[in-house]
Amino acid sequence: MWSPEKNKLTGEPLNIPQLPNCVLFVSDVHLGGFDSDTNAALERDFIALMKWCQQNQTQVILLGDVFDYYMQYGKYTPEVSHTILHWFKHYHQSGNPSTLYITGNHDNWDFGALDEAGFDTEHEYRLFRTENECILMLMHGDGLYEPKFGFPRPLFHRFLRNPYFVKMFKALTTGKAGNSIMRRFSAWSRKNDRADKSDKVHLDSNVVRMLHEFELDVIICGHHHEVRDITAGQKRYMNTGAFYIDRSACLYTKGLFHLVKWDGLNHILHKPN
C-alpha cells in the first residue's frame, strides 16, 4: 500500500492529485484509420459517449491513439481531428474541467493544438490518488521515456518520436501528404501489431512488474487492443482495450474500477453486474 511519507516512483515530495469521483478512461479509437463509413460510425459513437459522460457528470481521460495518425504542421491539423477537437474546445469553453489526453504512438505529434482545444496534454504518464488512497498510474502502454521504469519504447517507436526525425519528416512533406503517408503506415503496423502476441506479453508483464516495483496500486493503459482486468494480490492492471474494435473502456465510480462497453445504438454504458 502507498505510504504518504515516500514516493518510490519519483523520490520527490508527494504531490499526487486526487482522481475525480467518476472517470471514464478511453483509448485506441484510431479514428481515421478505416473506410469512410467505419470512420463516421466510430466518430459518432465516440462523440455520443463523450456527451453521455457530460450528462452523467463523468470526467473523461483519454489514453492515446484517439487518432490513427495525428501530426500537426504549424497551424495545420489533420482533418480527422477537427470534429473531436471542436467538440472538446466547446466543452472546455463551457466551463467544464480540462480533459487529460495522454498521447499514444499514433497521435504523439501534437504541437499545441490539443492545448488550444483545452486539453491537458501529456506525452508520458500521470499519477492520481483515489478516494480510498490507492495510487493509480495512467499511460498509453507503448513504453516510457524515463529509464528508471525499465519499460523503453521499441526502437522504431523511439525513432518516430525523435525530434530530428520529426523535423526532417515535416520538412519533406506537407501536412496533408505527411499525415496520409503515416496513416497508411499505421494501418500496416496495426495489422502487424495485432498478429504479434509477444508485444502483448511485453506490455502485460511490464505493467505487473511496475505495479510491484513502484508500489503502485492500479495501472490503466491501452495500446495492445485487448481488454485486461488482472488482479495480483492487492494490485490491479486494467487495459481499456480498443474502442474501435469493442467500444470498450474503463470506468471509475464509487471507489471501484470496472471494464465497460458503450452501446452506441441505445446510448447505454454497460457495466458488469
Q: Which residues bind Mn ion (CB under 5 A)?
A: 65, 104-105, 223
Q: Classify strands 218-221 and 135-139 as parallel, antiparallel or unpaired.
A: parallel
What minimum distance in Å lies between the beta carbon of 86 and Mn ion?
24
What minimum distance in Å lies between the beta carbon of 246 and Mn ion?
15
Nearer to Mn ion, 78 or 104 (CB): 104
What Cα–Cα distance (Å) separates residue 175 from each residue in 59, 130, 178, 186?
A: 32, 41, 5, 16
What minimum distance in Å lies between the beta carbon of 245 and Mn ion?
13
What minimum distance in Å lies between the beta carbon of 50 and Mn ion?
20
What minimum distance in Å lies between the beta carbon of 52 and Mn ion?
24
CB within 8 Å of 257: residues ≥ 6 apart: 218, 220, 236, 238, 250, 251
Nearer to Mn ion, 58 or 240 (CB): 240
What is the spatial distance between Cα 245 and Cα 234, in angstroms, rounded to a whole number? Answer: 30
Pick from 153, 186, 182: nearest CA to 73: 182
Backbone angles phi, psi at 133, to 5 degrees: 60, 30
What minimum distance in Å lies between the beta carbon of 16 and Mn ion?
25
Pick from 234, 167, 229: nearest CA to 204: 229
What minimum distance in Å lies between the beta carbon of 108 and Mn ion?
9
Nearer to Mn ion, 142 or 217 (CB): 142
Nearer to Mn ion, 105 or 179 (CB): 105
The three cell numbers of residue 198 are 509477444
Nearer to Mn ion, 64 or 118 (CB): 64
The three cell numbers of residue 195 are 498478429
Cβ of 265: how many Cβ atoms within 10 Å? 8
Nearer to Mn ion, 65 or 68 (CB): 65
Helix, strand, or coil (residue 127): strand
Pick from 273, 272, 268: nearest CA to 259: 272
Nearer to Mn ion, 184 or 267 (CB): 184
CB within 8 Å of 28: residues ≥ 6 apart: 63, 64, 65, 104, 222, 223, 225, 240, 241, 242, 243, 244
What minimum distance in Å lies between the beta carbon of 243 and Mn ion?
12
CB of 164 closer than 8 Å to CB of 158: no
Nearer to Mn ion, 104 or 178 (CB): 104
